[in-house]
Amino acid sequence: MYDTLKIIHSLLRWLILLSGVFVVLRSLGGLAGKKAYTSGDGKAGLFYMIFFDLQLLVGLLLFFVFSPLVGIHDMGAAMKDPIMRFYTVEHETMAIIAFVLVHIGRAKTKKGTDAQRHKAALIFFGLAFLLVLALVPWPFRAVGAMQGWF
């Protein structure tokens, strides 16, 4: 079950990254081009949020139910090891902050002028996207050396 959830977690990462690029570029284009905030813009943000919701659910299952990591059992030891600290504290903290930013952004895009809605989407979804880039254990980072791209 752990391996299956880890694969799902990794696939959801790519959906979040792709939808994040899409929603940020759409918001930037809408703001720069002074375009109306359309139902397509709202749906782009909605799908971005749904992917985050699914990712958080899978991540919580991995962390609290299926993870073989023992960092939560010995936080002192986990904090001394950079890789264990990343998976025990940093990854989850940044993920939850990004999750909250996406939900705030989604709420902020429901009302206001078109420019305000595009701006809120750009700020909140953009910040969440940047956090995702930082929290992913990419293969070129020490914390992701044992991970693949997929």
Domain map of the chain by residue range? 2-144
Fill in the amino acid letter for 78.
A
Q: Which residue has the higher pLDDT, 19 or 86?
A: 19
pLDDT on residue 64: 83
What's the chain's average pLDDT? 89
Fill in the amino acid letter for 61.
L
Here the tokens at position 149 are: 């791209």
CA distance 136 to 113: 34
Which of the residue ranges 42-56, 80-94, 116-130 would you say has the lowest mean pLDDT? 80-94
CA distance 97 to 131: 8
CA distance 59 to 69: 13
Residue 66: pLDDT band by 50, 70, 90 thresholds? Answer: confident
Instruction: State yes or no: pLDDT of 10 exceeds 70.
Output: yes
CA distance 29 to 31: 5
Instruction: State yes or no: pLDDT of 70 exceeds 80.
Output: no
Q: Could you count the other beta carbons within 10 Å of the beta carbon of residue 120?
A: 23
| Residue carrying structure tokens 């971005």 | 48
Instruction: State yes or no: pLDDT of 123 exceeds 90.
Output: yes
pTM of the model: 0.88
The 8-class DSSP code of residue 90 comes to: I
Q: Average pLDDT for residues 15-34, to the nearest whole number?
A: 97
CA distance 113 to 117: 6
CA distance 72 to 87: 10
